Amino acid sequence: MGLVKIRVEGVSKVFGRDPAGALAKVRSGMDKTRLKDETDHVLGLHDIDLSIRTGEIFVIMGLSGSGKSTLIRHFNRLIEPTGGRILFDGDDILAYDAARLQTFRRRKVAMVFQRFALLPHKTVIENVAYGLTLDGVAKPEAFRRAGEQIALVGLTGFETSYPAQLSGGMQQRVGLARALATDAEVLLMDEAFSALDPLIRHDMQMQLKELQGRLGKTIVFITHDLDEALLLGDHIAILKDGTLRQVGTGSEILAAPADDYVARFVRDVNRGRILLCGAFADAGLIAAADAPVIAADATLESTFAAFAGGAAALAVRDWDGRIAGALTPRRVMEALARI
Amino acid sequence: MTSGFPEIWDTRAFGRALDAAFNTIVANWGETLETVFMPVLRFIQGLEKGLQVLPWWVVVALFCFVTWGAGRRMVPVAVVAVLLMLLGLLGVWNEAMATVALMLAATILSVVIGLPIGIGMSRSDRMRRGMLPVLDIMQTMPIFVYLIPFVMLFGPGKIPALLATIVFAIPPVIRLTDLGIRQVDLEIVEASRAFGASPRQQLWTVQVPLAMPTIMAGINQTTMMALSMVVIASMIGAGGLGYQVLQGIQRLEVSKGLIAGLGIVLLAIIFDRIAQSYGRRVQANLHREGK
Ligand SMILES: Nc1ncnc2c1ncn2[C@@H]1O[C@H](COP(=O)(O)OP(=O)(O)OP(=O)(O)O)[C@@H](O)[C@H]1O
Ligand SMILES: [Mg+2]
């Protein structure tokens, strides 16, 4: 995982009549509730710093009202920050004028919406080609490229259907195809799968992972479902009341929650499926020569079978082939029982 | 005055000044305005002549064609054809065609003027705050009041009738264009913005198409109001069915008034059917179900 794609520096957002004045109050220590009660301004985001790397799935999590949608809408300037900087490939997008911003939205970022937001009066293929037609791509070419994306999401045969004729899952595939059609490097997905039922949702998650592996897009994905976050996210950012509480990989956050809020957030997760053996191998312990070997990036859950087979310890092998240490059932239990 | 309300200012002098000012306008601008509106007059006259000269069955076929184009359904087409033939049977065909010409011209101009104003109001709260009271006044002011200045400017005839009709009939199309665009699902507008639509592209690819059922309801109301103006407009020389009603009143001929009145009702139903079947088709496109 390489370069930084999107860099957010000290971004704050206040909703209300006098955002700048209200932000000054926040800087001098007023909190979100007092700001709301005393000045009728809403603190949407406060001093957010983060980096999203090229080619990763970056998940933003948090409860309702924590500022997830507000944050993701800063990345294509659907919402303007009250303070701070946003860099895209090192370019300050806040400096863009209207024309430049339009081009940026047409070519560099695409968005998928929770309630699909398809154009109800246009057919599937017209919807998918929408971004291209806005950019002035001629219709035959736009339709040809749209057709490819429709095939990619498995909707061939529905090109001339209208959105309302499709199920929710199919509509969101159209939404995904529409976002892919402009060949944007970054996909912004605001609770894109939240409106789908569990089975369809799982299919879509798998399809997204597969697509991302193949196309190498940078994806910013919002969810309030921790399992989804852990399944998809290379990195996860946790927001609360407009502030960033923790950023890290899933297992980093599970292993060391930054504060009580994050800890409560991750409490109910099946830790065995997320935590990795490497993080818990005891380097001071040497497993018996005939002990089963397990990879450092295997989940703790995958050790259960070996222990059930009677092994007293497992040798943990690093990505470079060296034995990093050993895992005993006791260490695994400790790791699972933490919190 | 017996009420004893203090006369703070001289209303009569004010009235005189207003009249004088208006007279100056008439004297200086009357001719220019007439030249400006000459093409409109030609259009109405041409339309009227055309509708009257064409054989009746060609006109019926034209109406059927338009109705089919609007709704893609057979029932309204049949209804429109039958009602038109009834007009002919009532013996008021030529008068009805004159009324249709005036009404079409009024409706077309109302839409051409009203749509941009409605769009402007939907985009600017300031403009909306400014326009709403004006529209209220236009709709509540007794219609006869408009007739005086227009007649003074143009003399009795089709142009003042047309202008008075437009003033009276334009508010619904403005109001409902504004309302329709404001009611468009914000998430869809946001999506179009997110994909880089310019304000103009947002308007024409999302807002206007999605507001279309509401806008059509406005156009329908405008048509009906234009039609309801024909009797009054005939007092200043609009001719057509309204003039027949007027004559019926003046000569106390119940039959004449009744038949012409019936003709107006038939026209109202015809245009309502056309507008409605178009509205229904647009609506159906937006909420197509097929699961
Ligand atoms: N246009 C706005 N005007 C005023 N306040 C707003 C506006 N948009 C968002 N907010 C406020 O900002 C805060 C963050 O909202 P946001 O929509 O980003 O939350 P979210 O994390 O996406 O929540 P959800 O999970 O419900 O979608 C909330 O307190 C919300 O009320
Ligand atoms: Mg949200």
Q: For the domain made up of A55-81+97-108+184-269, give the CATH fold.
A: Rossmann fold (3.40.50)
CA-based nearest residue in chain B for residue A128: B195
Q: Are A133 and A143 in contact (CB under 8 A)?
A: no
If DSSP codes are grouped into helix, strand and coil, which group holds residue A44?
Answer: strand
Q: What ipTM goes with this model?
A: 0.85
> What are chain B's domains?
34-286 (1.10.3720.10)
Per residue in B71-128, pLDDT (tens digit) is: 888 999 999 999 999 999 999 999 999 999 999 999 999 999 999 999 999 999 999 9
Q: Which of A121, A131, A134 sits opposite B210 (nearest CB)?
A: A121
| pLDDT given at position A141 | 95
* Contact (CB<8Å) A164/B288: yes
CA separation for the pair A46, A15 (Å, rounded): 12
Those residues whose C-beta lies under 8 Å from the C-beta of residue A36, and which sit 6 or more positions away, are: A42, A43
CATH assignment of A272-337, among 3.10.580.10, 3.10.105.10, 3.40.640.10, 3.40.50.300? 3.10.580.10
Per residue in A111-123, pLDDT (tens digit) is: 999 999 999 999 9
**Distance of residue B285 Cα from the nearest chain A Cα, in angstroms:** 6
Which chain A residues are within 8 Å of B203, Cβ to Cβ? none
pLDDT > 60? residue B38: yes
CA-based nearest residue in chain A for residue B208: A121
| pLDDT given at position B61 | 94
If pLDDT is split at 50, 70 and 90, which confidence band does B25 have?
confident
**A222 CA distance to ligand 2 centroid (A)?**
8
| pLDDT given at position B143 | 80
Q: Are B281 and B75 in contact (CB under 8 A)?
A: no
| pLDDT given at position A338 | 67
Which chain A residues are within 8 Å of B211, Cβ to Cβ? none
**A15 CA distance to ligand 2 centroid (A)?**
15
Same fold flag, A55-81+97-108+184-269 and A272-337: no
Mean pLDDT over residues A20-47, rounded? 89
* A64, A70, A241, best to mutate for ligand 1 pocket (most atoms within 8 Å of CB): A70
Two structure tokens written together for B243: 């003039």
Which chain A residues are within 8 Å of B187, Cβ to Cβ? 113, 115, 117
In chain A, where are the structural domains located? 55-81+97-108+184-269, 272-337
pLDDT > 80? residue A96: yes
CA-nearest residue for atom 25, ligand 1, is A64
CA separation for the pair A321, B174 (Å, rounded): 74
**A175 CA distance to ligand 2 centroid (A)?**
17
Q: Are B122 and B182 in contact (CB under 8 A)?
A: yes
Phi-psi region of B87 (alpha: psi -120 to 50; beta: other; left: phi over 0): alpha
CA-nearest residue for atom 28, ligand 1, is A65
* Contact (CB<8Å) A120/B188: yes
Chain A residues within 8 Å of chain B (Cβ atoms): 76, 78, 101-107, 109-111, 113, 115, 117-121, 130-131, 134-135, 161-162, 164-167, 178, 182, 188
